[in-house]
Amino acid sequence: MNETVTIKDKFAAALKEFGLPRLIITGFLVLLLVMAPFVGADLPTQISNIINRFSWNGILVLAMVPMVHSGCGLNFGLPLGIISGLLGATLSIELGFTGPVSFLMAVLIATPFALVFGSVYGWLLNKIKGGEMMIATYVGFSSVSLMCMMWLILPYHSPNMVWGLAGKGLRTTISLEGYYDQALAGIARITIGRISIPTGTLLFFALLAFGIWAFLHTKTGTAMTAVGSNPTFAKAAGIDVDRIRTLSVVMSTWLAAIGILVYEQGFGFIQLYMAPFYMALPAVSAILIGGATVNKATIMNVIVGTILFQGIVTMTPTVMNNMIHMDMSEVIRIIASMGMILFALTRKTEAAR
Amino acid sequence: MKEKRKLIFRAGALLIVLLIAAAMMVIGRGHTVYFDNKTLEYEGQSYEAYHRVDVYVKGERVARLGKRDRGMAEAMGQKFSMTLTVTEEKGAEPESYDVSLTLPYNMDGILINVPALLNGLTADAYLSELEIVVPEEETEESQEGEGVDLMEEVAPADI
Amino acid sequence: MKNSFLAKASVPLMFILICAFCIPIAGLSPSYLANEIVTRMGRNSFLILSLLIPIMAGMGLNFGMTLGAMAGEIGLILVSDWQIVGIPGMVLAAIISIPISVLLGVFCGKILNQAKGREMITSYIMSFFINGIYQLVVLYLMGSVIPIKHSSIKLPRGYGIRNTVSLLRMRQHLDNLIAIKAGGIKIPVLTFIIIGVLCVFIIWFRKTKLGQDMRAVGQDMEVARDAGINVERTRIISIVMSTVLAGIGMIIYLQNMGNIATYSSHSQIGMFCIAALLVGGASVDRASIGNVFLGVILFHTMFIVAPRAGAYITGDSMIGEYFRVFVSYAVITVALVMYETSKRKAKSAAGEQLARAQEEEENAGKEQA
């Protein structure tokens, strides 16, 4: 008698913690998947699309994890890391590297930028504990608009990247054909029937995800979690809170740089100027959809969240278009992802702020 | 008692606001008035167009109509006043008439046939609705109206 | 004391320097500049004034003013369709916008109460969320479920509103009603009278009980609660007031511009109004009417001259346009950082004081014993 009650209770409690918005979003996605074949959407293509988009975005969402662990909140300043990645990408092409090597070089060049930017960003966040998310947003915006000016001024010369007429100033979109388009995705691509799986990219994501998971179980990693969940205890235990927080910011920035490079190799283009402006928001809402909160995020949250988010982004347009010939996907995406972030922001936090 | 007073005040305020809104809808109803200087056939009688008609609204000349010309003026509210200076034949003396019309509420574009009006005909004869047809422009990028994708906000032109 | 004055004055001073640098390079005649500034003051001041009340109540920078702007736009779209023109059209649009603003304001206020301590980022995300709902209404429901008569404002596909809605029949009617030309500058007297009325209202409001309650809540929520003030309700009211004022302010703004950029007017206006307020020397927890007007003058001067200065220096006009966007964001970042650091300093200063007081007590106790 007692056993059935506890299982039911546990189920009800788990559902409540899962949260109504997440239930709605998951339910919605399942509905779309079920409806797809009935409305004429090609399910294998859609599934390929979802897997593809997961592979592009996974690392950007993964970049959220370190900072959530160390108590810096959701990294709305992701654009800063993205800019490091863009610098790596453009410089790699400028220096003349082509083919898959250009990807490797982009990663290598982006890394020092990410380290420097991340350190400064981390120092700033340490000065303003408690107001990280708002300031992160505006640091992101300021840096993107600053780079908008830089992309115009910096002395790039590669003919594939600059405006044809003027000869100086980078173009808004740069094609990666001949460079690292599909560099990772092409490695060991598996095709099952009509579903194409970019194994290379997924392996790369798995590698980094495993790396983060492993890190969080090391001494420094557990210190990071301690700093986030109970900063006073961490300080008392002799952990240098500021240093750990800066480390988490640097890690997050570096992952964002790698993340945008992986995104570009899947997408096929480098997007400059205002493109990175709002890129933090999809990543933030993806990890929140996956079950994370402002103070807690696991690798599983990243995987589940990215699949759900990209699933909705992919399925909604096709299903809706075939069904009611009206493309409301953009609006639905905004409402769903922003609603998710609002939900997360209004939860009671565990750590006293 | 105090609760009741508050309620009465609020209801009263709401009523006043609604009245103002209603008033605005009447006072502010915009119409575009068109004048035709065209010969009109009505009930067997033919009313000749004039050689020249000058239309003055609020002291400013709004249109100068030869035969078969059409002019227009924008109007606000239900009453429309204008002064028509008519030259019946070439070389004749111009005569001025002050005209005040009541415009029907539900028409956007109102067509007035000037000869019919000045010959004392009823509103049925001289007044009709003009469908304002908006020319379908080429659907350029800006007319697509897909809403501004959050991801594509560019530096604004002006604020 | 001196430190805090320098800190508060740093942002306006920085802007004065930027303007002083850019104005001669831009090469604009002083009368043109003056005319532009006066026009922009008339256009934007009401909107920026709407930001003052939430700051008073401790809600920080109200990024949710976008919600009010959306309500104002919906009012104007409906009025345009009903062909109500001129000033009556504006009044009607304002009346329509008020219930929508109240609804959105209550929603926003309730959510903000659930996110105490994170009001700014929450109101920021909220503006995106409501923007999604606004697009749902304006892009899909209007013309289909909500009847829109004129195809001139609908998209070719039959439902949804076009990207721009022309307000030609009420353009600058408010400004022009009583306008004075003084030394080549057109001054929209009636608009400034309305702005003046709002200023008087704000000054009066600060002294009313509700206003005092808000200031108390802004100072310290717990103390206010102990004093018997309904903190949650007061906070919601402050947001509602701000949203309603933003709606009316948006109508004033749009009647001057002459058309509505249906899908982008409101989001840009939110950010630039906040930037302007901060440039005028306001901070996240303190803002005055003087900050509003100083901010409009400095910020908009920069806005006008930066592109030209940029074009002159680098030969590329886009530089100047990106520069002014950058400066807007940078100024908000700097203001937020200064606010947070001073908040933490105040906390640690208070903590140190408490520690010292405790120490003294202990010592006094020891001596007695």
Structure tokens of B83?
């002064």
CB contact, 8 Å: A281 with chain B? yes
- Determine contact, residues A352/A343, Cβ cutoff 8 Å: no
Give the count of beta carbons closer than 10 Å to the beta carbon of residue A194.
11
> How many residues are present in chain A?
353
Give the gyration radius of chain A's Cα atoms. 21
Mutation site for C-interface testing, chosen from A80, A121, A138, A313 by largest number of C Cβ within 10 Å: A138
* CB-CB neighbours of B109 under 10 Å: 16
- Please state, in angstroms and rounded to a whole number, the distance separating the CA atoms of residues A40 and A51: 20
pLDDT at B157: 60
Pair of tokens at residue C168: 């030609």
pLDDT confidence of C6, banded at 50, 70, 90? low
B60: β partners:
B57
In DSSP terms, which residues pair with B127 in a beta bridge? B112
Task: Establish if B147 touches chain C: CB-CB under 8 angstroms.
Answer: yes
Residue of B nearest to C154 (CA): B145
How far is the C-alpha of A77 from the C-alpha of A74, rounded, in Å? 9
Q: Which of B76-90, C7-21, C85-99 has the lowest mean pLDDT?
A: C7-21
pLDDT (tens, 9 = 90+) of chain A, 353 residues, equals 555 667 888 877 777 777 777 788 888 888 888 888 887 777 888 888 899 999 999 999 999 999 999 999 999 999 999 999 999 999 998 888 888 888 999 999 999 999 999 999 999 999 888 888 889 999 999 999 999 988 888 888 888 888 877 777 888 888 888 888 887 777 777 777 778 788 888 999 999 999 999 999 999 999 999 998 888 888 888 888 899 999 999 999 999 999 999 999 888 899 998 889 989 999 999 999 888 888 889 999 999 999 999 988 888 888 877 777 777 888 888 888 898 889 888 887 643 33
**DSSP characters over C52-118:** HHHHHTT--S-TTHHHHHHHHHHHHHHHHHTTB-HHHHHHHHHHHHHHHHHHHHHHHHHHHHTTTT-
Number of other CB atoms surrounding residue A166 within 10 Å: 10
Window 124-183 of C: residues touching A by CB (8 A cutoff) are: 124-126, 128-129, 131-133, 135-136, 139-140
Q: How far apart are CA C138 and CA C135, in angstroms?
A: 5
Contacts of A277 in chain B (CB under 8 A): 151, 153
pLDDT, tens digit (0-9, with 9 covering 90-100), for C188-243: 899 999 999 999 999 999 999 999 999 999 988 899 999 999 999 999 999 999 99
- Name the residue with tokens 């995987």: A303
CA gap A68, A74 in Å, rounded: 6
Q: How far apart are CA C305 and CA C301, in angstroms?
A: 6
Report CA-CA distances (Å) from B103 to B25, B75, B108, C82. Answer: 14, 9, 10, 16
Question: Which amino acid type is present at position C85?
Answer: V
Closest chain B CA to residue C129: B150
Buried-state track C232-243, b at ≥16 Cβ within 10 A, e below 16 = bebbbbbbbbbb
Q: How far is A304 from chain C (nearest CA, A)?
A: 23
Domains of chain C: 2-368 (1.10.3470)
Nearest-CB residue to A331 (from C117, C135, C330): C135
Q: Give the chain A residue nearest B150 (alpha carbons).
A: A278
Touching check for B133 and chain A: CB below 8 Å?
no
Question: Which of the 8 DSSP states describes residue C140?
Answer: I
- Chain C closest-CA separation from residue B109 CA (Å): 11
Mean pLDDT of C307-325: 81
**pLDDT at C15 exceeding the cut of 90:** no
Residue B152 contacts A where some CB pair is shorter than 8 Å: yes
Q: Report the C-alpha gap between C160 and C141 in whole angstroms.
A: 7
Average confidence (pLDDT) over C117-136: 91
10 Å CB burial of residue B130 (0-12, 13-18, 19+) is middle
Distances, alpha carbon B84 to alpha carbons A319, B99, C51, C344, in Å: 62, 7, 52, 76
Q: Tell me which chains share at least 3 CB pairs under 8 Å with chain C.
A: A, B
SS (H, E, C) C287-305: CCHHHHHHHHHHHHHHHHH
CA A81, distance to chain mean position in Å, is 11
List subunits contacting chain B, requiring 3 or more Cβ pairs under 8 Å.
Answer: A, C
Structure confidence at residue C100 (pLDDT): 96
Domains of chain A, by residue range, sit at 42-277
Q: How distant, in Å, are the alpha carbons of A242, B24, C91 from that of C177?
A: 60, 17, 14
Among residues A270, A314, A234, the alpha carbon closest in space to that of A110 is found at A270
> What is the DSSP pairing of strand B109-113 with strand B30-36?
parallel
Judged by a CB distance cut-off of 8 A, whether residue C129 touches chain B is no
Asked whether the predicted pLDDT for residue C3 surpasses 70, the reply is no
Nearest in space to A331 (alpha carbons), one of C70, B148, C144: B148
Domains, chain B? 30-129 (2.60.40)
Buried-state track C132-144, b at ≥16 Cβ within 10 A, e below 16: bbbbbbbbbebbe
> Residue B145: which of C82, C92, C162 has the nearest Cβ?
C162
Task: State whether residue C147 sits within 8 Å of chain B by CB.
Answer: no
Between chains, do C344 and A129 touch, taking CB under 8 Å as contact? yes
pLDDT tens column, C158-171 = 888 988 888 888 88
Q: What's the Cα-to-Cα distance from B151 to each of A273, A282, C209, rounded to whole Å?
A: 11, 10, 44
Q: Record the tokens describing residue C83, joined without a space.
A: 């062909």
Check A148 against C330: CB less than 8 A apart: no
Distances (CA, A) of C178 to A11, A322, C167, C175, C262: 68, 55, 19, 7, 28
Give the CA dihedral C211, C213, C214, C220, nearest 10 degrees: 150
Strands (DSSP E) found in chain C: 164-166, 179-182, 185-188, 259-261
By C-alpha distance, the chain A residue nearest C321 is A149
Handedness of CA C211, C215, C218, C222 (dihedral sign): negative
Name beta bridge partners: C142.
C146
pLDDT computed for residue C338 by the predictor: 83
Closest Cβ opposite residue A145 in set C124, C140, C326: C326
Q: Cβ contact (<8 Å) for C164 and B145?
A: no
- C-alpha span between A269 and C80 (Å, rounded): 42
DSSP string, A319-348: HHHHHHS---HHHHHHHHHHHHHHHHHTSP
Whether chain A has a CB inside 8 Å of the CB on B155: the answer is yes
For residues C317 and C305, the answer to whether their CB atoms sit within 8 Å is no
Cβ contact, residue pair C263, B20, below 8 Å:
no
Residue that has been written with the tokens 């997007």 in this structure: A271
Please list the rounded mean pLDDT of every run of 10 residues in chain B (159 residues). Answer: 86 92 88 84 78 83 82 85 83 82 84 82 79 57 42 54
CA distances A59 to A109, A209, B25, Å, are: 18, 8, 56
Taking an 8 Å cut-off on Cβ atoms, the answer to whether C337 and A153 are in contact is: no
The least confident of A218-222, C86-90, C155-159 is C155-159
Query: Residue C118 contacts by C-beta under 8 Å, 6 or more apart in sequence?
Result: A133, A134, A345
Q: Is B136 on the interface with C (CB under 8 A)?
A: yes
pLDDT of residue C78: 93
Q: Please report, for residues A84, A260, A305, C176, the alpha-carbon distance to residue A284 in angstroms, rounded to integers and kept in the order given.
A: 19, 15, 10, 47
- What secondary structure does DSSP assign to B120-159, as a single string? T--HHHHEEE---PPP-----GGGS-----GGG----S--
Q: How many residues does chain C have?
A: 369
Give the burial class of C190: count Cβ atoms within 10 A of its Cβ; 0-12 exposed, 13-18 middle, 19 or more buried: middle
Give residues with Cβ within 8 angstroms of C4, minimum separation 6. Answer: C342
Residue A112 neighbours by CB distance under 10 Å: 13
> Helix (H, G, I), strand (E, B), or coil: what is residue A262?
helix
pLDDT at residue C8, rounded to an integer: 67
